[in-house]
Amino acid sequence: MTKTLTPDICVIGAGAGGLSVAAAAAAFGVSVVLVEKGSMGGDCLNYGCVPSKALIAAARHAQALREGMPFGIGAAEPEIDFEAVHRHVQETIASIAPNDSAERFTALGVEVIRAEGRFADASTLLAGEAEIRARRFVIATGSSPAIPPIPGLDRSGYLTNETIFTLTRRPDHLIVIGAGPMGLELAQAFRRLGSMVTVVEAGAALAKEDPELSSVALKQLRDEGIDIREHTRITHITRLGGHGVRVSFTTGHRALEGTHLLLATGRAPNLDGLGLDKAGIVHGEWGLEVNARLRTSNRRVYALGDAAGSMQLTNAASYHAALVVRAILFRLPVRVRHDIIPRVTFTEPEIAHVGMTEPEARQARRRIHVMRWPYAENDRAHAERRTHGHIKVIATPRGRILGATIVGAQAGELINLWALALAKKMTVRDIASYVAAYPTFSEIGKRAAITYFIPAARKTLVRKLTGFLRKLG
Ligand SMILES: Cc1cc2nc3c(=O)[nH]c(=O)nc-3n(C[C@H](O)[C@H](O)[C@H](O)COP(=O)(O)OP(=O)(O)OC[C@H]3O[C@@H](n4cnc5c(N)ncnc54)[C@H](O)[C@@H]3O)c2cc1C
């Protein structure tokens, strides 16, 4: 029998974005219905950030054994028990899952419905036995792997982020299609865990990043034995008898054979079957149309996170959620700022970025000021023998920070200061004048900011002097 519910807010999708809206709204005593058709926690917990970072952590331990010699620790080729690695990944998911569980949200006062949601009209969503007439709806349905139209791909038995973490046996030769963050993070993790890995990319690897910095990470990946083939077009894929695939390329490149194929070719918003037309929500192949307040063309309906396109990141989904809560609950005139959302590629070295890259800033403005500082000039980096990489900061000629990119150890941690700097419209003077703990990697940011105040001719002198003083001890 159909039951009718009339909450203040109905959230469709219990991933990073949807859960944040539901938790915040419930905390303010607002009635919320949360509709989820799959696993609570969405992509991030089950098939994305959490399992990938757990796998990367296992891979880092394996690599640390190989790299012990300079520290006086006997280097050894690690013995990898891949079934135990798989267990570690699943245990990590299980340890976080209670935070995102239906039980927890029910205890918070949220009505959780485990069913697919679809709009029946502009103000009604159907989910299982329920007919939900909410004051406001929030589409937080996430995204799924985008499947490129490569002949033979559908019969190749390919893996995606939804299946790769279920492997209990290590692939002998993993072929990854796509050299974006996900493809390269997993490529390095599997390589360090003992697989042979080839990455095939139709364009440039890490195309969104400033090549000056991404090239540092790509070199490290190649040095570790990952074969990264850029500007390489696949013509078709053939499943080989038993186990394995053959990937064929346009003329000039020899075909490649591997045991497993991983697709990492981007993500498409989950909008199919939502009944968007019935709800009067403008959408197309590009996704949903939302304004700067994350409102769709139906004023009753908001969209956020991966479903709303733009930056497909958990921190973006949570940020969107905070804005939507402010807009719905407090009627505040919110406005999304994508320039304050940091992104990190969790390879080693990590690449972290916020705001404008140098190429973007040069396109947008006539004059900019560029500052750099290398890890090689950082004492902590020497102690850790992690001296590869640098920070690059972009500012206006008057010193307002426009962006920062870091490639190197703990770049993902260091970028948070710059995210704050952009959010609060800080200047290089603010960064140059705070006191950083010593010895920390964070000092590279402060040192880069200080160079702003050094006239160009003296910068080289200062660099030389610093190097000289270091040699003297
Ligand atoms: C391998 C990988 C690694 C990643 N690593 C990172 C990282 O390190 N850092 C980072 O910030 N981001 C990372 N991401 C991206 C991150 O996972 C996503 O950006 C984030 O999960 C998006 O959150 P969301 O709430 O928009 O959607 P999701 O978390 O995907 O949640 C959407 C939910 O909606 C449900 N749903 C869909 N349609 C319906 C419907 N009609 N009715 C009911 N329910 C529905 C789905 O089942 C799902 O549970 C990674 C992604 C991948 C694939």
- pLDDT tens, position by position, 339-350: 999 999 999 999
* Ligand 1 centroid distance, CA of 62 (Å): 29
Q: How high is the pLDDT of residue 41?
A: 98
Say if CB 401 and CB 418 are below 8 A apart: yes
- pLDDT tens, position by position, 294-326: 999 999 999 999 999 878 999 999 999 999 999
* Spatial separation of the C-alpha atoms in residues 105 and 35, rounded to whole Å: 12
* Spatial separation of the C-alpha atoms in residues 210 and 254, rounded to whole Å: 30
Q: How high is the pLDDT of residue 287?
A: 82
* Spatial separation of the C-alpha atoms in residues 152 and 247, rounded to whole Å: 9
* Ligand 1 centroid distance, CA of 143 (Å): 6
Ligand 1 atom with minimal separation from the 306 CA: 26
* Ligand 1 centroid distance, CA of 267 (Å): 10
Q: How high is the pLDDT of residue 75?
A: 85
**Ligand 1 site, residue 117, Cβ cutoff 6 A:** yes
Does the structure show a pLDDT above 80 at 462?
A: no
Phi and psi of 73, rounded to 5°?
Answer: -105, 125
Does the structure show a pLDDT above 60 at 48?
A: yes
Q: How high is the pLDDT of residue 470?
A: 67
- pLDDT tens, position by position, 227-273: 999 999 999 999 997 779 999 998 778 899 999 999 999 999 999 99
Does the structure show a pLDDT above 80 at 18?
A: yes
The residue whose CB lies within 8 Å of the most ligand 1 atoms, and thus the one to mutate among 12, 101, 294, 313, is: 313
Mean pLDDT of 431-448: 98
Q: What percent of the chain has pLDDT over 90?
A: 91
Structure tokens at 91: 């245990």
Whether this model's pTM surpasses 0.85: yes
* Ligand 1 centroid distance, CA of 183 (Å): 16
Q: How high is the pLDDT of residue 346?
A: 98
**What's the whole-number average pLDDT of the chain?**
95
Ligand 1 atom with minimal separation from the 313 CA: 19
Place of tokens 């959230």: 11
Say if CB 114 and CB 37 are below 8 A apart: yes
- pLDDT tens, position by position, 107-154: 999 999 999 999 999 999 999 999 999 999 999 999 999 999 999 999
**Ligand 1 site, residue 22, Cβ cutoff 6 A:** no
Structure tokens at 63: 């690599």
Does the structure show a pLDDT above 70 at 459?
A: no
Ligand 1 atom with minimal separation from the 186 CA: 1
- pLDDT tens, position by position, 183-196: 999 999 999 999 99
Protein residue whose Cα sits closest to atom 35 of ligand 1: 13
Protein residue whose Cα sits closest to atom 20 of ligand 1: 314
- pLDDT tens, position by position, 352-378: 999 999 999 999 988 999 999 999 999
* Spatial separation of the C-alpha atoms in residues 281 and 131, rounded to whole Å: 19
